[in-house]
Structure 1
Amino acid sequence: MSVVETLVEGAYALIVQVASWFMALGLLQKLFLIIAFPFVYSITWQFLFSLRKDRVPLVFYWIPWVGSSVTYGMQPYEFFSNCQKKYGDCFSFMLLGRVMTVYLGPKGHEFVFNAKLSDVSAEAAYSNLTTPCFGKGVIYDVPNWKLMEQKKFAKVALTTESFIQYVPIMREEILKYFSTDPVFQGKSGKANVLKTQPEITLFTASRSLMGRDLRNTLNSSYAQLFSDLDKGFTPLNFAFPHLPLPGYKKRDNAHAKITETYMELINKRRSDDGNHDKDLVDALMNNSTYKDGTKMTDQQVANLMVGVLMGGQHTSASTSAWFLLQLGERPDLQEELYQEIKKAIGDRELKWQDLEKMPLLNNIIRETLRMHHPLHSVFRQVIHDLPVPDTKWVVPAGHYVLASPGWSMTNEKYFPHAAHFEPHRWDKLAGSGGGFIKETSNLDTNEKSDSVDYGFGKISKGVSSPYLPFGGGRHRCIGEHFAYTQLGTLLVTFVQNFKWKSKVPDPDYSSMVVLPSQPAEIEWERRE
């Protein structure tokens, strides 16, 4: 008999003996062992993990598989700060069966955002979250090179010439909303910004990016559909993309209804012989051929439209809600901004070029993004073992790495009085205080000025600043300039028409997109 056969027979005999012993136990004893085993296994695994000198320190947890999910999900920044005090800037924690290695601060930004494509994958990390919301064949449901191509396809609608055209279109939509929505009728009233801002940003983004014909098919119910998609970005969706739960059904129903609307638009445009607006929809229909010669299908174009419009809507909805709430506690800033607007444009209509001439306007947006980054965590899945620079630690393949620019931007180390909303801090930090279309602030004097083209145009290579509201590296948001255009136009139009007051609520971290908790209301009065 060979050694292998002997070992197999021995293992089989041991299993039979253990099974016989277990079956001989009483019911309560069996239940106790079944419940206790995962805990014993988890604690033993954590102990053995801690003995390895090549592993990042792991935050201890009691509940198997769940790990630190609850404390992280409820207050991520507080969780990060508490862990930093004990472990330093780099530590790991268990999130629903996944080991997440966090690296805080600018060095963490460099570690995650500029990691080699061969070492980490955003597609593997985010596909469970994005594919059910956006659909197949787009964003993170394709190889990285295709995603870079899709970004290039979408950038045709994000040029200076486009922004010049967008401002009067957006302004028209905002004023129409003010004159028709019941919440803004009369001389004064209350408005729930978690309702008004998603609707306003949806209407302005859809009209400017995708034309009048699409905008005319949308109403306030579509803002709720996009909200249902937003709710598909939770840690539970990250672990389980498909569950028979009400939130999942709402997410899937929202995607189906939105893409059905887009497919109807595409089919209509296919048959109207080019008699329509030359916008992003038109560009994607006719200029979405990959470098390998394959062309996006109409369904994939519709899915990409979901991703693009969501990118131009949900984060701007969140940011605009936050700056209205913050300014509601600062009537001094409202009045200062009102005077800046009057000085810049007087009684004439707002133009895109005017936005760059309003430093306070842009600093309010910049400060809002600092205090209320739309995404509290950015992560990648490790494909090949990834050494942590200047340490003996290695993050093994299959684990995840996580950066949190939002934590850095609200940390006293990088921003004194970080909890205080003070746009004028940027008068010095950003030089002239303008920077409407700048890449990033020059907070870090060692920030690399090199640029790199990942396939969708040149962007800054440096990510070592503590201020990264639009991410960095190959997955940096391409909609930065669109966001400033949309948010700037909205804020100017709001200040010209209203004064308001409010109380700033706590953040709601239940989704990956950080929203204000309810009630999130402003009390407004119309300007004479």
Structure 2
Amino acid sequence: MGLLNHVSASLASLTSSWSGIMFAIITAIATTVLLNVARQLTARNPNEPPIVFHWVPFIGSTITYGIDPYKFFFACQKKYGNVFTFILLGKKTTVCLGTKGNDFILNGKLKDVNAEEIYSPLTTPVFGKDVVYDCPNSKLMEQKKFVKFGLTSSALRSYVQLISGEVRSFFAQDAASKKFASSSGTFDVPPTMAELTIYTASRSLQGKEVREKFDSSFADSFHDLDAGFSPINFMLPYVPLPHNRKRDIAQKKMADTYMGIIESRRKEGDSTSGDREEDMIWNLMNCTYKDGTPIPDREIAHMMIALLMAGQHSSSSTSSWIVIRLATKPGIQEDLLEEQRKVLGTNVDGSIKDLTYDDMSRLPLHSQVVKETLRIHTPIHSILRKVKQPMAVEGTPYVIPTTHSLLATPGVTARTAEHFPEPMTWEPHRWDETPSENYSHLAPKHLKDSVVEEKEDYGYGEISKGAASPYLPFGAGRHRCIGEQFAYVQLQTILGMLVREFKFTTVEGKEEVVGTDYSSLFSQPLRPAVVKWERREKA
């Protein structure tokens, strides 16, 4: 009996202790929240942008922002104006909206803003050392100049045939995958287009030898490496989480694959020997930095990984959105097909003649489908910079301190009625050079006003600064994506081949466009995003 009483007393004491601990924890949390709220209500600094109200310190607005960035931005704009600060995982992040905000951040001077400190923790484990954001900006500009070898007009001209061939092979009825062996069916768009764009990007930008390496094992490595772009890796890039372990194994495997190709070629000698095509690897093997140093082989391998990832991501997302959008607009599909027939002509058997690079400029509706899709579904919704010295925001009393990050979001201006009437209406005809009565009210206002873009050379050729345009799907300034022209060629070629081969429709009962997945660095359709396809008899 005494033992039982002792046990009962011990349990009561333990229960009392746990209750005390829980009460202390709850009290501490409540006190922290209340102090955080009180600080926001009473300690506003008039020289800094207003801080978006939040209950929990450190977490701040992270969850609301992460679920739907655009909804968050527009709600904050309505309440706080074009310049405001929110807490993103403990970091004060100042957003500057509108074309002036884009210019302020994306065309900021190197002494004021820095991209490397923001993105290097995320990209370096994926791409590898000494390239892109893991090197001084001056070196990155040189690397961009080297890569432009594969983005010249002559290179782009050759890519159209290569990309067309990959699309034909991928969707052929006798293709090895058997995914499109019948005359009709359904498919989940995002993973299908992701696979296709890996093949088209590798074959065109990187050459036949690299494309042939893309067996199932290499494709799995690409997928594991891609998972390294998880947002958590902005803060914890080297923590041994499962996806990081897979990322590191994949990075080494892909780098070693490129190193093997380079080593083999160095043993073979001159690139002009035999019938080997002149590709990006050969180009980089013969490039030197301004100080006379040849590009080390390991850097070449890492640049090739970066080039492959960059050439695949935005195109994968955008091509998926194109198919999903076309499925809701059968009429646009027929307009596209008719445009090809009219412009390219037909063969004796009635099929449309092969698409060429020179045809691109003669297919305005194809270009406009790509352009309108990029407008609404900009692949990257947030572009971040580290503040290096206090920056005054013109037209405001605000000075952004060095403890803040800056965030530009060109996708907001692309979704603003001030620039694009009925902004969430997907209508390629809004870009018509001379819009008909049905579409004239949708025409982009900056085109009506004949806005002239400034240009600047950051060391890899003259490009538009993008300061005045509300349409910046590839960014602006020195970090503007140099693959913009390639992306248009790749997407327009894929589009041209798809409308010849298929008719797309929505799955019965699902007429609305799917939502957007913002959980990765790159926005993409929520999966599954299934559409119906029917093979055309002849096109």
Task: Tell me, yes or no, whether TM beats 0.5.
Answer: yes
CA pair 132-40 structure 1, distance change in 2 beyond 3 A: farther
Question: Corresponding residue for 2:197?
Answer: 201
1:343-382 aligned within 5 A:
343-347=342-346, 348-382=353-387
The question of whether the paired residues in 1 share the 8 Å contact of 2:259 and 2:301 is answered with yes
CA drift at 1:114: 1.1
Q: Provide the aligned length of Structure 1 versus Structure 2.
A: 494
Instruction: Give per-residue Cα distances to partners, 1:360-419, cap 9 Å, x unaligned.
Output: 000000000001000010110000011111111111013111111112212223211212
CA pair 88-29 structure 1, distance change in 2 beyond 3 A: same
For 1:224 and 1:329, locate their aligned partners in 2 and report how far apart those are by CA, in whole Å: 32
1:496 corresponds to which of 493, 496, 500: 500
CA drift at 1:441: 10
- Structure 1 counterpart SS, 2:179: helix
Instruction: Give per-residue Cα distances to partners, 1:121-169, cap 9 Å, x unaligned.
Output: 0111111111111111010111111111110010011000111111111
For 2:26 and 2:191, locate their aligned partners in 1 and report how far apart those are by CA, in whole Å: 49
For 2:317 and 2:40, locate their aligned partners in 1 and report how far apart those are by CA, in whole Å: 38
**Aligned AA (2:480):** R
CA drift at 1:293: 2.9
CA pair 246-159 structure 1, distance change in 2 beyond 3 A: same
Structure 1 window deviating more from structure 2 (419-428 vs 321-330): it is 419-428
CA drift at 1:277: 2.2
For 1:429 and 1:473, locate their aligned partners in 2 and report how far apart those are by CA, in whole Å: 30
Identity %: 45
CA pair 512-36 structure 1, distance change in 2 beyond 3 A: same
- Structure 2 counterpart SS, 1:253: helix
Question: Corresponding residue for 2:479?
Answer: 475
For 1:412 and 1:254, locate their aligned partners in 2 and report how far apart those are by CA, in whole Å: 44
Question: Corresponding residue for 1:9?
Answer: none
CA pair 60-443 structure 1, distance change in 2 beyond 3 A: same
1:34-183 aligned within 5 A:
34-35=28-29, 38-39=32-33, 42-43=36-37, 45-47=39-41, 49-50=43-44, 52-179=45-172, 180=175, 181-183=177-179
- Structure 2 counterpart SS, 1:237: helix
CA pair 429-219 structure 1, distance change in 2 beyond 3 A: farther
Question: Corresponding residue for 2:290?
Answer: 291
1:236 corresponds to which of 232, 238, 246: 232
**Aligned AA (2:339):** E
Unaligned runs of 5+ in 1: 1-25, 432-439
For 2:500 and 2:448, locate their aligned partners in 1 and report how far apart those are by CA, in whole Å: 35
CA drift at 1:469: 1.1
CA drift at 1:191: 1.8
- Structure 2 counterpart SS, 1:468: coil
CA drift at 1:49: 4.9
CA drift at 1:238: 1.5
CA drift at 1:223: 4.3
For 2:523 and 2:217, locate their aligned partners in 1 and report how far apart those are by CA, in whole Å: 21
- Structure 2 counterpart SS, 1:522: strand
Question: Corresponding residue for 2:335?
Answer: 336
For 1:430 and 1:458, locate their aligned partners in 2 and report how far apart those are by CA, in whole Å: 31
CA pair 49-169 structure 1, distance change in 2 beyond 3 A: farther
For 1:447 and 1:394, locate their aligned partners in 2 and report how far apart those are by CA, in whole Å: 29
CA drift at 1:94: 0.4
For 1:329 and 1:221, locate their aligned partners in 2 and report how far apart those are by CA, in whole Å: 36
The question of whether the paired residues in 2 share the 8 Å contact of 1:387 and 1:393 is answered with yes
The question of whether the paired residues in 1 share the 8 Å contact of 2:504 and 2:531 is answered with yes
2:247 corresponds to which of 251, 273, 284: 251
- Corresponding position: 1:391 with 2:400: no
**Aligned AA (2:457):** D
- Corresponding position: 1:184 with 2:180: yes
Instruction: Give per-residue Cα distances to partners, 1:433-480, cap 9 Å, x unaligned.
Output: xxxxxxx99538474433211000001134221111111100111111
Question: Corresponding residue for 1:4?
Answer: none
The question of whether the paired residues in 2 share the 8 Å contact of 1:443 and 1:465 is answered with no
The question of whether the paired residues in 2 share the 8 Å contact of 1:430 and 1:441 is answered with no
1:10-21 aligned within 5 A:
none
- Structure 2 counterpart SS, 1:478: coil
1:264 corresponds to which of 255, 260, 266: 260
Provide the aligned C-alpha RMSD in A: 2.2
Structure 1 window deviating more from structure 2 (406-415 vs 64-73): it is 406-415
Instruction: Give per-residue Cα distances to partners, 1:278-311, cap 9 Å, x unaligned.
Output: 1111111111x22133333211111111111111
Question: Corresponding residue for 2:453?
Answer: 449
Unaligned runs of 5+ in 2: 1-19, 347-352, 437-443
Instruction: Give per-residue Cα distances to partners, 1:240-279, cap 9 Å, x unaligned.
Output: 2222322323332332222222122212222222343211
- Corresponding position: 1:417 with 2:422: yes
TM-score (norm 2): 0.87
TM-score (norm 1): 0.89
CA drift at 1:496: 0.9
CA drift at 1:42: 3.7
For 2:253 and 2:55, locate their aligned partners in 1 and report how far apart those are by CA, in whole Å: 42
- Structure 2 counterpart SS, 1:54: coil
CA pair 452-424 structure 1, distance change in 2 beyond 3 A: same
